């Protein structure tokens, strides 16, 4: 394949900091595929025009990041089931009838959990936050048949509204941080953006079992406040870099038909 066959980009605002161009170039090197991948700044209002321009210049696939995932859904001729469930797309592939939309966030999380040896099946899972990232992971996560999932969020109604949308898929409920769980959780997934402001959500150690594992959808500096809490409370914790690479690997397979390995890419990113 040559660069023109896979002209790709990530759209978002802000997007200059995105690791996606580097990740997909590393995937291409791993599989011997020449990838042309750019980062394109776009707000919600500009997205239709920017995507049309990208397509006219030979664009064949794209990623959407904050704040464009819900808006991208409206621009697709077809969307996959995870995207419909999440009401958001993060991956676009050009087809004869227009853009086809996918949401690879949940698949990326599960790919990383598998890499870490963390099986959601039968677990009691506490998810902190009820935003778009959680909407993207709930469907695939519930498909692994955990014992139960409980969402806790600063705005309790938002957690309840989100859990209502997924109640038909498994045992799931939600509420605010004032809840008193009857049983403790053995896996906690932190999804809030509090770490970007050097803060963390008001978790309580007594909500978790002695051997609980924590997973943060954030990575880098945004991961540190939650990671510090986990270390201070004796909770094993993993950051979300593996999920980022995992969801990118799923997107790369959608575009090229070939799925790259995520561990070599994570190693290269860590060295950088």
Query: Mind telling me the catalytic residues?
Result: 69
> Cα–Cα distance between 24 and 193 in angstroms, integer?
25
Contact 89, 64 (CB under 8 A): yes
Query: Furthest-apart CA pair in the chain: how many Å?
Result: 57
> Cα–Cα distance between 12 and 51 in angstroms, integer?
11
Contact 165, 193 (CB under 8 A): no
Contact 242, 266 (CB under 8 A): yes
> Cα–Cα distance between 116 and 27 in angstroms, integer?
20
Contact 257, 263 (CB under 8 A): no
């Amino acid at each position: 394949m040559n660069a023109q066959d896979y002209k790709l980009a990530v759209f978002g605002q802000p997007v200059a900091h995105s690791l996606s161009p580097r990740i997909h170039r590393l995937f291409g090197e791993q599989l011997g595929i020449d990838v042309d991948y750019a980062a394109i700044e776009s707000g919600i209002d500009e997205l239709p025009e920017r995507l049309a321009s990208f397509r006219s210049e030979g664009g064949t696939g794209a990623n959407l990041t904050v704040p464009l995932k819900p808006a991208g859904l409206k621009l697709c001729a077809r969307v996959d089931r995870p995207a419909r469930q999440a009401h958001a797309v993060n991956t676009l592939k050009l087809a004869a009838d227009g853009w086809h939309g996918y949401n690879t966030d949940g698949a990326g999380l599960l790919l990383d959990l598998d890499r870490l040896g963390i099986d959601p099946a039968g677990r009691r899972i506490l998810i902190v936050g009820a935003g778009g990232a959680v909407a993207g992971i709930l469907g695939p996560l519930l498909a692994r048949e955990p014992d139960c999932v409980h969402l806790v969020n600063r705005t309790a109604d938002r957690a309840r509204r989100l859990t209502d949308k997924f109640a038909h898929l498994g045992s799931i409920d939600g509420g605010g941080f004032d809840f008193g769980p009857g049983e403790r959780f053995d896996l906690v997934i932190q999804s809030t953006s509090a770490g970007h402001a050097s803060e963390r959500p008001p978790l309580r150690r007594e909500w978790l079992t002695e051997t609980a594992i924590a997973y943060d959808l954030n990575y880098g500096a945004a991961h540190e406040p939650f990671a510090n809490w986990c270390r201070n409370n004796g909770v094993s914790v993993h950051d979300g870099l593996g999920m980022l690479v995992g969801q990118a690997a799923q997107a790369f397979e959608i575009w090229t038909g070939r799925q790259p390995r995520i561990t070599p890419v994570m190693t290269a990113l860590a060295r950088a």
